[in-house]
Amino acid sequence: MINRTTPESEFNSIVKGSGDKLVVVDFTATWCGPCQRIAPLFAEMAEEMKDVIFIKVDVDQNEETASACKINAMPTFQFYKNGQKLEEFSGADINKLRQVVAKHK
């Protein structure tokens, strides 16, 4: 399942309230071609990995969250555990996404 966050407070409560579960955040935009191409694969991963929390954040609808997370390119994926950011990368690279999730899961 993919959570779609709106306000920054909701984003923060998910990231900080997840405990030792991995949280994978996809910062995306409707006008971003690479974002749209990786979206179904991100959704597939969310269905496969019930022990990981997957979040999509539309940077145009959630400018405060995108700004607070220092997002400059889309898609950008951030990985959190215990409220701490573990890693981040930009680009629609599904293999890298799978590697990083496996590394921190």
For the chain, domains (ranges, CATH) are 2-104 (3.40.30.10)
Mean pLDDT, the chain, rounded, equals: 93
| pLDDT higher than 70, residue 57 | yes
Please state, as a whole number, how many other Cβ atoms lie within 10 Å of the Cβ of residue 16. 13
Residues of the chain with pLDDT > 90, as a percent, come to: 90
| pLDDT higher than 70, residue 1 | no
| pLDDT higher than 70, residue 75 | yes
How confident is the model over 95-105, as a mean pLDDT?
Answer: 97
Contacts of 7 (CB under 8 A, 6+ apart): 62, 64, 65
How confident is the model over 21-28, as a mean pLDDT?
Answer: 96
How confident is the model over 47-71, as a mean pLDDT?
Answer: 94
- Considering the candidates 32, 45, 53, 57, report the single residue annotated as catalytic: 32
How confident is the model over 90-98, as a mean pLDDT?
Answer: 98
Is residue 35 part of the annotated active site? The answer reads yes
- Considering the candidates 15, 23, 25, 35, report the single residue annotated as catalytic: 35
